[in-house]
Amino acid sequence: MDSITSRLRRPGTAIAGSAGVALLLLGCTGSPGLGVVSPSPTASVPSAASGSASGDDPWDGQVTADVEVVMQELPVPWGLAPLPDDSFLVTMRDSAMLARVHPSGGADPNGGVEYLAWSSGAQELADQTVADGEGGLLGVTVDPEDAGPVITIFLYRTGETDNAVLRAELDLDSGVLRDLTTVLDGIPKASNHNGGRIAFGPDGYLYVATGDAGDPANAQDPESLAGKILRITPDGEPAPGNPDAGSPVWSMGHRNVQGLGWDPSGRMFAGEFGQDELDELNVIEPGGNYGWPEVEGPGDEAGFIDPVAWWPTSEASPSGIAVTEEAVYLASLRGERLWRVPLLGEASAVADGESPGFGEPQALLEGEFGRLRAVHAGPDGELYVLTNNTDGRGEPTTTEDGRLVDDRMLRVTLTPAE
């Protein structure tokens, strides 16, 4: 499988075709407006209409989005992870199912669902997953070194007493899940603020986003796994180089992180839900404290790291994020839009390890498809987006004859606006 950074490509032409799917039954304080800051005191942050600091990159301005529905009728999808053959694994929060979606499979998006036999690992996963409010079967990621047909996957699930990260083998030819193993447990759970996004970083270690489990004090408690971003080995041990050698904690002071990603320079981003005022996009530094519950949004307080972009909670509620060479994209639930934050900087400088600044955020797909849960950059630069209107908080779309079409996977092709 390609490395994480090699998949961060500039958007290009989308793949033609429709979709097929095989379902594996696996069982805020501050300004009220949006804002953006640059981490560099010398970098200019132009408006979207004025172009970039370098003045010659069309992706630093606004873009237009062309959307194709490639799958429908997905029941409460949550996590999204690419597979070696350019298909995707999708978790279903409430039913504890995994779906394998083929965006170029050629099937009608209203059909193409093949139910496969239960395996012992699938049954075990379903038995130990408890769907309660925002909890259930949440994040999923794939070992980036695996090329198939047997791959190692990692899952984040809510159980009776905690949230946990699980590892399993998945045979892509047979659809059998086996050797389900808990690698990290004891993550506090609640009916909300469970975090749940997991991803491999460019360094080969597993990053785990957790929520404060409804208790804001957890976020500032270094002994609690709640309200943190964790960094672990595939066996669940604290990864080498963590701020505290005996702890999996990578950063703290988070309310509810559900999006993780890295740009080509290796800089880590996280999307975070605010409470009443401001949602955040943060650049994550090892050992950093992001302020919750003392600060929501930019606070300019000693000891806390401010976000690089922020939005009113009514316009965002960011869940999954995707990072390409040209922008950070945030799938927003309450805001019902896909936010784009341009990355500004010379490509040669980024290749040398310099971190680009940020341009003015742009809203895409606003109100067109309802709540957006996850987004991932595809192999040819297109974006794949999961809607989330069947989770009890949205308004599912139906056809004129009453047929449910939500939830959906969208393929989004972006081009620079003229």
pLDDT in tens, 34-72: 778 644 322 333 323 223 334 456 777 899 999 999 889
Residue 358's alpha-carbon distances to 36, 186, 205, 278, in angstroms, are 7, 37, 27, 18
Q: What Rg, from alpha-carbon coordinates, does the chain have?
A: 20
- Which pLDDT belongs to residue 352? 61
- For 108-112, the CB contacts below 8 A with 24+ separation are 108/18, 109/18, 109/19, 109/69, 109/70, 109/71, 109/72, 109/408, 110/72, 110/73, 110/403, 110/405, 112/19, 112/20, 112/21, 112/71
pTM above 0.75, yes or no: yes
Q: CA-CA distance, 393 to 334, in Å (whole number)? A: 9
Using alpha carbons, select from 360, 367, 356, 287 the residue that is nearest to residue 333. Answer: 367
What is the pLDDT confidence band of residue 264, given thresholds at 50, 70 and 90?
confident
pLDDT in tens, 79-113: 999 999 888 999 999 999 888 888 864 556 655 44
Q: CA-CA distance, 177 to 170, in Å (whole number)? A: 5
pLDDT in tens, 339-383: 999 998 754 455 566 666 899 999 999 999 999 999 999 888 899
Containing H/E element for 262?
strand 257-262
Asked which of 46-55, 148-157, 317-326, 386-395 is least confident by mean pLDDT, the reply is: 46-55
Using DSSP's 3-state secondary structure scheme, residue 137 falls into strand
Q: What counts of helices (H) and strands (E) characterise the chain? A: 2, 27
Q: CA-CA distance, 238 to 144, in Å (whole number)? A: 19
Using alpha carbons, select from 208, 240, 205, 244 the residue that is nearest to residue 226. Answer: 208
Give phi and psi for 122, each to the nearest 5.
-65, -40
Pairing of strands 137-142, 113-115: unpaired
Q: CA-CA distance, 200 to 376, in Å (whole number)? A: 14
Q: Is the distance from CB of 298 to CB of 287 less than 8 angstroms? A: no
Residue type, 45: V
Q: CA-CA distance, 266 to 252, in Å (whole number)? A: 20
Mean residue pLDDT across the chain: 85
